[in-house]
Structure 1
């Protein structure tokens, strides 16, 4: 007879780690964080998004995600430092953002893929610190998945929680991993690869739009490049820490148990995400 997950109690340390993860994964989006930093209403940032979310930006985001996929497949199994160098990664992102800020939107062609790669490597360090084996393709692609967890809304505007988003994105990741292992390379034209990239782009692009739109807010614009990139990097590092904390706890306690406690904590924090009824994720 299977054990009732509602009766399972997590050790205090694991419960505390889970609570931190829930707060990170169900936290306000990037636009809200930027608005909070600038001391302006969040709607002022959000109202600028349609100007930023254009076809050119979508193409830049897709290129950045493809670059990230290639990095994830080819180089993320290199030995990382003993502990995540998150501060240094944020500093580098700030530098690239500051340079980009001098040249405007056109610099995103160079800056966005570079910043995405820096973030992906920081995410990989966090993953390994949480016990992930980056010699496995599945773990490396799980690093790329983090870019899909940076927003609560899909391209159709549906508000979803972490587990609902993970259930969907993990299906695409699994299909892509099987294809890459069989072929030994990333073929961007293959449907399974295109599906994975498109799903990440549809979510990551919304966060990048927040980042670009922030440059149109006067109080942010003066320090747009460096400051917003640091907020951008910090946002995804927190997503990564939450994501890989959950994966670590699931390896120890089982997915069902962790999801049950996740839902309870989210409810206690008054974050109505519907995680208790989300589709099963790996």
Structure 2
């Protein structure tokens, strides 16, 4: 239950959530950085390029992603003892793996994919900790995995799924595999788009390092937003927070469009 996940969060009496909700809405609008906006403009070319990727590549990406996330979630059972690369260290590591992966085309990109997936998930977990959550709890780790379904960096969608955990779960064996079965296909598509984007000539100046950094930053921002909203629901209830967030997001979109 939400109350169980947030049991150790501080309760702030007479706390007005609107300023923080407004800040989270603004953060949502900024989640797609300049690099992602450039790549989105080439969405059609990326889709066409995906058709030329080697046969069976999607299956490989899904298999690699499943294995990497399974290992990363297992490591996260140790909570704050899991690797913490820091706010600057994580993008730096993502950039390094992206640069290495870009050296030899698809072959090296696939080889570095497990590291990239692991670094992204642990950046999400560190964002959860920053919002006051205990990442050793299976509910929190499950919610971290769900961040990967929240509109990938190449998706034309700046909305956010503000549904929250409603039941206590375990993340071992069949339960983990069932959750990953829902998450991996969509996330694998996003990773496939990343590989395709790296192979478009017009985007030749965009290195694997820059792409990896942009992807990690995007998902880390979504994690801060999701866990920030989840923390606020513990204090004010899910429906009021959801409604206020959606209203604020619409209002800021209108101002931005002027």
TM-score by length of 1: 0.71
Q: Residue 160 of structure 1: CA displacement? A: 9.8
Q: Which residue of 1 aligns with 2:23?
A: 17
Q: Residue 220 of structure 1: CA displacement? A: 2.6
Q: Which of 189, 211, 214 does residue 194 from structure 2 map onto?
A: 211
Task: Identify the range of structure 1 (45-54 vs 206-215) with the bigger mean alpha-carbon deviation.
Answer: 45-54
CA contact (8 A) 1:53 1:206 kept: no
Q: Which residue of 2 aligns with 1:228?
A: 211
Q: Residue 12 of structure 1: CA displacement? A: 4.5
Task: Identify the range of structure 1 (94-103 vs 230-239) with the bigger mean alpha-carbon deviation.
Answer: 230-239
Tell me: CA distance 1:93–1:240, structure 2 relative to 1, closer, same or farther (3 Å). same
Give the 5 Å matches for 1:94-113: 94-113=95-114
CA contact (8 A) 1:62 1:198 kept: no
Give the 5 Å matches for 1:113-262: 113-151=114-152, 161-163=159-161, 166=163, 177-178=169-170, 180=171, 186-187=172-173, 190=174, 192-262=175-245
In 2, the alpha carbon distance for the partners of 1:111 and 1:218 equals 21
In 2, the alpha carbon distance for the partners of 1:152 and 1:228 equals 10
CA contact (8 A) 1:150 1:204 kept: no
In 1, the alpha carbon distance for the partners of 2:80 and 2:59 equals 33
Which aligned runs of 4 or more in structure 1 are off by greater than 6 angstroms?
none
Q: Which residue of 2 aligns with 1:280?
A: none
In 2, the alpha carbon distance for the partners of 1:92 and 1:152 equals 19
In 1, the alpha carbon distance for the partners of 2:224 and 2:124 equals 8
Describe the superposition over 1:20-41 as per-residue Cα deviations: whole angstroms up to 9, x where unpaired. 35425xx66x9x9445169x64
Tell me: CA distance 1:98–1:137, structure 2 relative to 1, closer, same or farther (3 Å). same
Tell me: CA distance 1:208–1:144, structure 2 relative to 1, closer, same or farther (3 Å). same
Structure 1 gaps of 5+ residues are 1-8, 181-185, 272-282
In 1, the alpha carbon distance for the partners of 2:159 and 2:189 equals 15
CA contact (8 A) 1:68 1:116 kept: yes
Q: Secondary structure at the match of 1:103?
A: coil
Q: Residue 43 of structure 1: CA displacement? A: 2.9
Tell me: CA distance 1:262–1:86, structure 2 relative to 1, closer, same or farther (3 Å). same
Q: Residue 245 of structure 1: CA displacement? A: 1.2
Tell me: CA distance 1:51–1:245, structure 2 relative to 1, closer, same or farther (3 Å). farther
Q: Secondary structure at the match of 1:163?
A: coil
CA contact (8 A) 1:22 1:262 kept: no
